[in-house]
Amino acid sequence: MNYETLIYSKKDRYAEIRFNRPHRLNAVVTEFYTEILDALDKAEHDGDVRTIVLTGEGRAFCVGADLKEHGKGERTDLEKLEYLNLGNDVCQRIYEHPKVVIAAVNGFALGAGCEMSVSSDFILMKETAQIGLPEISIGTHVGGAVTEILPRIIGLAKTRELIFTGRRIDGKEAHAIGLATRVFSEEEFDAGVREFAGLVSSKAPVSMRFAKQHLNDMHQDYKSRLTTEIAALRTCMLTKDWQEGVDAFAEKREPVFIGN
């Protein structure tokens, strides 16, 4: 598929999905969402891809909905609903994707851009990047299950502050409150993202998939989790990667995992 709103590429063992509407600060239109879903499917079915990096072209990650498009008033009520559902579909796909997803926030990540970031497994930010949820400030509402996910990351009180006030925070503050995993200077950002993505991509894919499922499943109780973790462990022990991990430990070398 030839994409109009993003650039898809592979670097080492990770796929990069680069939002490519810099003239609109990577603001969201319907095609943008449908192409992200397609790119996420492409990455899932590529055995060479271990990790996915989302980032933006230009000075923004994604500033949310393209209000210029909204302002035209050309959508029917059904089309508006389909658009809203697409936004949720993208966030859910990122959150439930079997591979680790990293949001490399290079600039403004507002509204839907913040929601996609929060749905990712890791957020890496430039010091000068800004992330925020302005929805209530403009009379709309957050989506992408942010009210479920974000309190687990930064706590309920801080989530309330960010959603109710619509305040933007930079990379340093995002790191300080536990939202961003890493924060980099302008000069170090690209290399830092590559290094972090490479580190995650070097781990055993089957093990990572189970770990992501367990960490993101908020509905199991303690005893159920004990049972499902043992089931995951038993499955991992049937893989070649499990034996590679054992051998590498004994031989005091870095393991080379193949994904099965």
Active site amino acids: 115, 135
Q: Which residue type does 218 have? A: M
Continuous segment of H or E residues that includes residue 15: strand 14-19
Distance between CA atoms of 110 and 106, rounded to whole angstroms?
12
- 76 C-beta neighbours (distance < 10 Å), count: 8
Question: Would you tell me how many other CB atoms lie within 10 Å of the CB of residue 46?
Answer: 13
3-state secondary structure labels for all residues of 27-53:
CECHHHHHHHHHHHHHHHCCCCCCEEE
